[in-house]
Each structure stands twice: as C-alpha cells, then as structure tokens.
Amino acid sequence: MPGMHLKTHQSHVEKIFMSVQSTIIDSELEDAQARLWRHYEEHNPAAIREDGILNVALSFDGSWAKRGHTSKIGFASVIEVMTRLVIDFHVMSLFCQICATTGEPLRIKNAKEYEAWLVKHKESGTFTKNYEGSSGEMEKAGALVIWGLSLKYKCRFNMMVGDGDANTFLALTNLSPYGAEHPVQKEECVNHESDPPSTFLNSTVAEHVRPIYERLTRPDLLERCLLGATQSANKSLHSLIWAKCPKHNFTGYKRVQIATTLAVGEFNAGSVLTRQLMSAIGCRINSVTVEMGCKRDRQRIARAEEAQRDVAKQRREKRKLAQAKRQQEGVAAEGSSVKPMLVDILTRRAVNLLRLTKVRKHLDHDVHVKRRTICVNK
C-alpha cells in the first residue's frame, strides 16, 4: 500500500490543529478549572478569599523540544498540588514554517507584497511564531503568560513550587500579577532540596560540604518545603507529551500543541478528550474505541492505586531508612573529628525528612481519593 502523500498528511495535521486551537484547549482547561473550584468548595472553602478569588499552590516547570538551549519550541505548565490537575499550559515557538518557506522568498522579492501577505497569514490562524527571545528564557516567558492569565478564571497562583532556578521566580516577583498585597511565594521542590548524596566523602571534602547540609536543615528552608510538593507531576506530564511527539523527529509548533493538548487531557481526565477530538475532526467513535480508552484508564488508575498502597509505601520508606542508616554507619566508620558533626547533621536531616514524609502522607491521601473519584467515563 502506498504511504500517505506529504500534502495529505499536512492537511490532516492542519485540521487537527485548528480543532485543537479553536475548541479543544478551551474546553479542556475550563473543565480542569471547574473541577479545581469544586474540590476547594467541598474540601477547603477557606482558600476562596473574600474577593471571590481562589488562592492555590502550583508546581511549575518547562520543557523544550530539543535538548540544550537551541530549541525553537518549548512549553510551560502548572499543576495544582492538591488535585494534581494541569490548570494551564503554554506552548511557545520561535519559528513559523510557512514564513520560512513562503514568506521569506516573497520578502526578498517584493517587500510591499510581503507586508500584505503577512497580515493575511496572521489573520488566518496559521502563523505559529508566538515568542521572541532566546530559548533559555522560554520557561520564564511561559510563567509570565500563565500567571498573567490566572485571574481570568478567578485564581491566584500565590505559591509556586519550583526547582532551584530563581530566574522565573524573580520575573514573577517583578511582574507582581496580584499586586503588593498578594505576593507570589516560592515553595522549594522537595526532590530538589533533599536528594541524598550517592557517595561518601573524605574529611577534607566533608568540611566544604558541611555548609550545604547546614543550609538543607535551615528552618526557613524547611518551612518552604512544608507542602511536601514536588515537580514530579510536571516531569510525568512532560514524558507523556514527548512520547506523543518524540524529540528525535522534527517537531513543529502544531505537532507540539496537539501532543500537549492530548497529553494534558489524558493526564486530567483519561481518554475522554481523545474521543472528543476524534469526533471534532469527523472520526466515528464506535464501541471498540470507547472500550479501548476505558481499558487504558482502568490500567492507569490501578497502577496509581498500587503505588499509593500502604505495602508499597512501607517498602519505599524502609528502603529510605535503610539508606540513611547505611550513610550514618559509613560516615561513623571513617572516624575523623569532622564525622560526628556530619552524623549529627545527617540525623537531623533524617528526622526532617520523616516529618516531611508525614505531611506528604496526608497529601497522598487526598490524591488517592481524587484518583478514585475520577470517573472513567466522566
């Protein structure tokens, strides 16, 4: 059987893209935001302030279509820490394929004609360059767009869980989207703050490392870790997206936008959105499609529940404690004058980690309840 002609393929991608842009993204995000509101109305109405705005904490992260800082396409997303719903995302592109292949030759030939063409091109909705700047600054730009739009759906993202990158947070502080009386605060990602060292150090190095350990156990830093939140949900969303449009292939803005929309839909509500998109582009949905989607959803929920089960959790905690014990024994065995200090610091750290684990347990319970209440078919 002959393969699909490139033009046919492009026209299909175009059709899916237009459908995603015009209706699917909006309905998907509106649904997530409505579910977020329902959750707080039922479980934590205190988070809804007198001015009718909901204050929430979110984990934020960005990703690029290509490694290094040369990528022309990138995106940023925010995931609410209690419900683990993707509340908003933004795909950015430094590039427009049509401008490169059609616009540029025209510009060289006839600048006036090009100007007129560009206006039409932008109006048609096919212009895909929506970001000016360097690839390295994309994450920051994405955060500014997302935070800038948050009040539109009556939310204040006043707590941001992020990695060590202070650039984005600084930009948000300067933007001050909610005014001086509602500053955006930063909560450290627990994974970034408490990764245990994988090797033991000799006494000279240990002396230099000591300040870092001291910093890790500083009360103000631990306070910022109290939510026990991490960016791992964002990382898992990223892997879902890049599985749908692999980085080693050429990925244009349209493909990334489609993949991101589908991945967010799957992340938030299972296979429902994929079916919505299929019917929007004229594909018939039959019982087999529905059953396959539901089967995937059931498997996903079962996997999540297995990971949340007490036995699995106890196994993980035992492993963590054994590791901490091994570390202490290793340090003590080396027996220099610096070591007792390190043992002391490590113990304090272990205690702090346990405290965090307790907070997390409480949160995990909420997530577990949420997973169970996701109705497979809505």
Contact set with Zn ion (CB under 5 A): 96, 98-99, 127
Q: Which is nearer to Zn ion, 130 or 173 (CB)?
A: 130
As measured in angstroms, the least distance from the Cβ of 101 to Zn ion is 9
**Residue 121 C-beta: closest distance to Zn ion, Å:** 5
Min dist CB 219 to Zn ion, Å, is 53
Rounded to an integer, what distance in angstroms lies between the CA atom of residue 47 and that of residue 116? 50
DSSP assignment of 138-174 equals HHHHHHHHHHHHGGGGTEEEEEEEE-S-HHHHHHHHH
Residues 6+ away with beta carbon under 8 Å from 72: 65, 66, 93, 94, 95, 135
Short-list 155, 148, 144, 126, CA closest to 30: 155
Give whichever of 252 and 270 is closer to Zn ion, judged by the CB atom: 252
Neighbours of 305 (CB within 10 A): 13
Which lies closer to Zn ion via its Cβ, residue 95 or residue 169?
95
- Minimum distance, C-beta of residue 129 to Zn ion, in the bound complex (Å): 6
Question: Residue 96 or residue 345: which is nearer to Zn ion going by CB?
Answer: 96
Residue number, 37 or 127, with CB nearest to Zn ion:
127
Q: Quick one: how far is CA 252 from the chain centroid? A: 20
Smallest distance from the beta carbon of 161 to Zn ion, in angstroms?
A: 36
Mapped onto helix, strand or coil, the DSSP state of residue 209 is: helix
Residue of closest CB approach to Zn ion: 96
Computed from CA positions of residues 214, 216, 221, 222, in that sequence, does the dihedral angle turn out positive or negative? Answer: negative
DSSP state of 4: P
